[in-house]
Structure 1
Amino acid sequence: MSYDLIVIGGGPAGYWAARRASDENLRTLLIEKKSIGGTCLNEGCIPSKVLLNSAKLFTSVKEGAKFGVVADNVKFEPETVIERKNRIVKKLSGGILNQLKSRGTEIIYGKAKIIGKMDGVFELTVNDTVVRGKNLLIATGSKPKIPVIDGIMEGLENGYVLTNSEFLDLKSLPASLVILGAGAVGLETASYYSMLGCKVTVLEMSDRIALNTGRGFAENLMKIFRKKGIDFYFNSSILNISHDSITFYSNGREYVLHPDYVLLCTGRTPVVDELGIENIGLTPEKDGIKIDETCQTNISRVYAAGDVTGGSMLAHTAFRQADVCVNNILGKKDVMRYDNIPYVIYSCPEIAGVGETEESAAGKGINYEKHTLSLQYSGRFVAENESGFELCEILVDKNSRRLIGVHIAGSYVSEIYMVQL
């Protein structure tokens, strides 16, 4: 079978590119080895939002007296929450599948391997079938990064060390847990379990949380999370993990904790193994497949998009990269920019931002000024929060008076539209 475009991977970058290409009357094949929607929909962003929504609702009901809403014997049922999460994932994945089929996108489930290039056409195998395409888009996503720690593989095998694939399916609440990593996934996970009464400890190898925010902003955030009962240890180095303990150093001091589970939120690594990319002369970098501003690799008509490219592992990035790929395949010159991609951390409080931080602005030599604005100026915020945790920092270029960065934390800040700067 021959196609105008073959897409490997059905996550945000892959399914959006396939949809766009099909809309443009390109004969498109999408190859997905597991489930349409990728990690984001099946094991990441969407499941975590479902769980966090239930935890926030539970907390709101418990604390409702200050708003004139009183309820007794409020219970949280994790098993019901997980069942609802699974229904939502199935519904959304089915919706994407129907959209693709309605546009004529062909879909094959299986593991793709690139054989090579013959007469200007790329050849791949999937389920023992050979398929050919004029253009190739690699959108294979990422997988959990497993740090080298004594005992970690045994922990994964025996179920007391969990990745996002497992801890988003826990149907009973642990009394205590340790989270490795204080990035977006780590903070969301810490928020979920701490709101439900679990004792949460976060170990971070760097010296602060939320590295995509500014240092001062992150320090204020950490104070908020600590008030919610979450413990943090920075500059952490894990010595070993066993079935009933984790031993680590933090700032030169040794500690031993005894959690029910250790959750890995240590980042993700691009999936490039066993794809056969070497058969067309494509060699991945350490942090993923290298692409130019048109999202093309060093091999003509071979593109890459999404987490497999490393760097900005956000759904917003994946969607935009997919657009750039398809536009350039169609001969419409388009380039990828990374300086104004918004981010959201669905923790409690929520965190959102776009543009420069103080560190990045200073690193670029931008003459900037910082303004701190209270969310108390927002009528909605005051109406919906009795004692709010809120931060808002705005960065402005002194010379051009141009807005170059906004970073905020508080209830519902994920709903604030981050305009292109």
Structure 2
Amino acid sequence: MKSFDLVVIGGGPGGYVAAIRAAQLGMSVALVEAEDLGGVCLNWGCIPTKALLKSAELIDKIKQADKYGITVNDYSFDLSKMVKRSRQVANNLNKGIGHLLKKNNISVISGIAKLLGAGKLAITATADSSKASSELQAKHIIIATGATARAIPGLEPDGKYIWSARDAMTPKHLPKSLLVMGAGAIGMEFASFYNSLGVQVTVVEALNYVLHVEDEEISNYAAKAFTKRGIDIKVATKVLKIERHEGGLTVHLNGGDNPADAHQQLEVECLISAVGVVGNTQHLGLQNTSIECDNSFIKVDQWQATHEANVYAIGDVAGAPCLAHKASHEGMICVEKINGLEHVRPLNKALIPGCTYGSPQVASVGLTENKALAAGHTLKVGRFPLAASGMAAASGDTEGFIKTVFDADTGELLGAHLIGADVTELIQGFVVAKNMETTEQELMDTVFAHPSISEAMHESVMDAYTRAIHI
């Protein structure tokens, strides 16, 4: 039986980062992965979807070429080439992860790990295999198995009419119509992509607004922007049932603001379900340990420790927010705490940025205005429209605005909320500011380059204190 200081179960953005950081600190490390290094994020999530969205962005720009003084008489696109490029980007990065693990002398083991208790693990080829191909002994174990899309009874993916996220990323054909069930980040990104390609897209959301984790003002603006693009958004609406037939689906809906529309039927070619995730815990052998779960997610403390001695959980399997950058950071915190490093601080989830890609992009960090009020803060709120930005005007991307929320008594930046082109690249400025406990004064004293979209960040802060110049 091979023995290691640390065995990491799962090679996604949490697992492989934890493994590398542990190796840097001198630990002997094994990483067990059942499928692809990089996990869902790199292979079937964050990265390949952004490659597809880049193709969609170029199509949108071509449609607007005339306003830039460029004449495009005709254009076409090849869906198969878009998908091929997306897969190649993911494959190249997958190989890069393998190189990094090899460089750091990490033993990569292909298979499924099952906890046996007392630091022992059985490695099997398949989830239902009764025979272990090998056993490992570890001083410490990190579970980083991620999460899987929530399955809705009656809406199981068939690859033809009902698509999983993988089906949606590797379509064999372009449907004329598509229903996206769920208006979170994943749902709206797929809606944006297919809308850019000319598909008639309908989004159904059970809650009263899209992108429900975002500031309500941002969510409302996003809904109007997506509707303006031609996406039909139905909020406060549920899918009651579907009927499969040759050529597509009949979807029965219930809800909406208009009582006359309470019961609706919709004919679409395909449906994508994007209604949340569940933690991947079913094959881990948790029954052999003291580990506890809550709604499929493993319970952990501030250092990612479970109720089983020397066993930890990070990333999606340890609960929301289910974000790759959260998983990576938890991996580093966990490993550094195991090694007794003095500088380690527990993760402050209020400092985790959230991003939704597509057109327009949405990015945020910290409290929404409503949550800040509910927490008892007296507020100063600033807003700056990108239409008033010189750089946005020059680039032709004037849709959107930046909103900042401050505590009126202390000047603490409580939250920042952005919508518009490339705002996912701007949000980190506010994340750094919050991490450094910056007040409005330091932000207003900061010199922002001109011309740049980032100037809108500055103006939003100044607007909160009635000092904005360009509005």
Q: TM over 0.5, yes or no?
A: yes
Say which SS state the counterpart of residue 348 (structure 1) adopts. coil
After superposition, the C-alpha distances for 1:48-69 in whole angstroms (9 at most, x for unaligned) are 1001000110111121111012
Report how far residue 123 of structure 1 moved.
3.3
TM-score (norm 2): 0.85
Q: 1:373 to 1:219 in 2, by over 3 A?
A: same
**What is residue 133 of structure 1 aligned with on the other side?**
138
Q: 1:247 aligns with which of 252, 274, 291?
A: 252
Aligned ranges 1:52-71 → 2 under 5 Å: 52-71=53-72
CA distance in 2, matches of 1:297, 1:47: 32
* Larger RCO (CA under 8 A, 6+ residues apart): 1
**What is residue 142 of structure 1 aligned with on the other side?**
147
**What is residue 397 of structure 1 aligned with on the other side?**
407
Report how far residue 377 of structure 1 moved.
4.6
Q: Does the Cα contact within 8 Å between 2:400 and 2:418 map onto a contact in 1?
A: yes
Q: 1:412 aligns with which of 410, 419, 422?
A: 422
Aligned ranges 1:259-278 → 2 under 5 Å: 259-278=268-287
**What is residue 280 of structure 1 aligned with on the other side?**
289
**What is residue 444 of structure 2 aligned with on the other side?**
none
Aligned ranges 1:145-294 → 2 under 5 Å: 145-148=150-153, 151-153=154-156, 156-157=157-158, 159-243=160-244, 244-251=249-256, 253-294=262-303
Report how far residue 195 of structure 1 moved.
1.0
Q: How many residues align?
A: 413
**What is residue 113 of structure 1 aligned with on the other side?**
114
**What is residue 337 of structure 2 aligned with on the other side?**
328
Q: Percent identity?
A: 31
After superposition, the C-alpha distances for 1:178-199 in whole angstroms (9 at most, x for unaligned) are 0000000111111111111110
**What is residue 72 of structure 1 aligned with on the other side?**
73
**What is residue 358 of structure 2 aligned with on the other side?**
347
> 179-188 vs 275-284, which deviates more?
275-284
Gaps in structure 2 of 5+ consecutive residues = 126-132, 435-471
CA distance in 1, matches of 2:330, 2:32: 18
> 358-367 vs 193-202, which deviates more?
358-367
**What is residue 445 of structure 2 aligned with on the other side?**
none
CA distance in 1, matches of 2:223, 2:234: 11
CA distance in 2, matches of 1:138, 1:406: 32
CA distance in 2, matches of 1:336, 1:62: 43
Q: 1:371 aligns with which of 378, 382, 394?
A: 382
Report how far residue 165 of structure 1 moved.
1.4
Q: Does the Cα contact within 8 Å between 2:387 and 2:399 map onto a contact in 1?
A: no
Partner AA of 1:262 in structure 2: L
Q: Does the Cα contact within 8 Å between 2:218 and 2:419 map onto a contact in 1?
A: no
Say which SS state the counterpart of residue 293 (structure 2) adopts. coil
CA distance in 2, matches of 1:69, 1:115: 65
Q: 1:413 to 1:146 in 2, by over 3 A?
A: same
Q: Does the Cα contact within 8 Å between 1:9 and 1:30 map onto a contact in 2?
A: yes
Say which SS state the counterpart of residue 136 (structure 2) adopts. strand
Say which SS state the counterpart of residue 268 (structure 2) adopts. coil
TM-score (norm 1): 0.95
Say which SS state the counterpart of residue 26 (structure 1) adopts. coil
After superposition, the C-alpha distances for 1:36-85 in whole angstroms (9 at most, x for unaligned) are 01111111111110010001101111211110121222111110000111
CA distance in 2, matches of 1:159, 1:175: 14
Say which SS state the counterpart of residue 52 (structure 2) adopts. helix
Say which SS state the counterpart of residue 325 (structure 1) adopts. helix
